[in-house]
Chain A
Amino acid sequence: MTDKDKYTALLQRYWEAETTPEEERDLALYAARVDDPDFTELRGVLGYLSIGRERKARKQRTMRIYSWTAAAASIVAVLAVSLSLHFRPAQRSDERCVSYAYGVQSNDSEAIMASVAASLSDFFAGDTPAEIQLLEMFQR
């Protein structure tokens, strides 16, 4: 039994879907090796299948790349937001100017800023702290 006979029989079984994966691989190698017109059709089928496999692999590769790109982009976005928060100018958008004297709220910004100036002045130039002045005022 020649190689050709053996592979022709295998080819027959291939068309009848009776071959094992090993036999199919063996048959594919033979078909690729010989230039026999009896195996032309098989080469065409195998070529089509290999293109399909390549396409599938390429698609999986692309999906994997997209997936990692999306993850990387998310990390970059989080980093960008966090860094901008980290290094933004000290000025914050939430302005606040409030004072409480024994639980009583005051929003008189002029009076509050005057007390702030007095307190700062007390520490940095030696005046009486405004909070103590307020304290004394409320005790009277």
Chain B
Amino acid sequence: MKKTILFFAMLLLLGGTAFAQRDLNVYPVFRGKVVPTERMVTTEVRGGGMATYKLDYYRGISFRADTATALKVAALVAADAETAVSCETEKEGALLIYALITLQPDRKINRYLCYQARPEGFIWKITILYLEGSATLEDLHSMFEKQ
């Protein structure tokens, strides 16, 4: 009985420390499930260098996609925007072309999802960033406005 209680206590508590990014609808895009990673430029930075921006984690992907794929990705981003704390979005026709989403914080860590789709002929250049850290949206705006 005691062993069972301990097992469930551990399972419950360790489960809470799971990687926060996985709860996003857009996570499969980061994993290369929508566009293969071989067709992307991906950047991942954790720790040290991100402290300048009051961030702990940065993950960015950029790729080219046709309109159908762009719509699919935009739908995933829009789904994340629905459960967000706040978001700024911009559309071009049916396609979401810009989104700055403040996600639900993971405990005390602020989380952001940034999305941009730029037209390039008949295709789209899509950039998505996922950020984690103590920086507020105001902090980030003020940091880059000064530059």
Taking Cβ atoms with an 8 Å cutoff, the residues of A that contact B are: 67, 71, 74-75, 78-79, 82-83, 85-87, 90-103, 109, 112-113, 115-116, 119-125, 129-132, 134-135, 138
In the complex with contacts A85-B17, A115-B43, A123-B116 CB distance below 8 A? yes
Interface CB pairs A-B, < 8 A, 10: A74-B6, A78-B13, A87-B108, A95-B46, A103-B38, A116-B49, A121-B144, A121-B147, A131-B127, A135-B125
Instruction: Decide if B114 is an interface residue (CB 8 Å cutoff).
Output: yes
* Contact B45 A97, beta carbon cutoff 8 Å: yes
**B127: which A residues are within 8 A, CB to CB?**
119, 122, 129, 131-132
Dominant secondary structure at the A interface: helix
Which of these, A87, A91, A135, contacts B47 with CB under 8 Å? Answer: A91
List 6 tightest A-B contacts by C-beta distance, closest first: A131-B62, A82-B13, A125-B144, A95-B47, A124-B144, A96-B46
| Interface size class, chain B | 35 or more
* Contact A119 B6, beta carbon cutoff 8 Å: no
* Contact A116 B43, beta carbon cutoff 8 Å: yes
* Contact B144 A79, beta carbon cutoff 8 Å: no
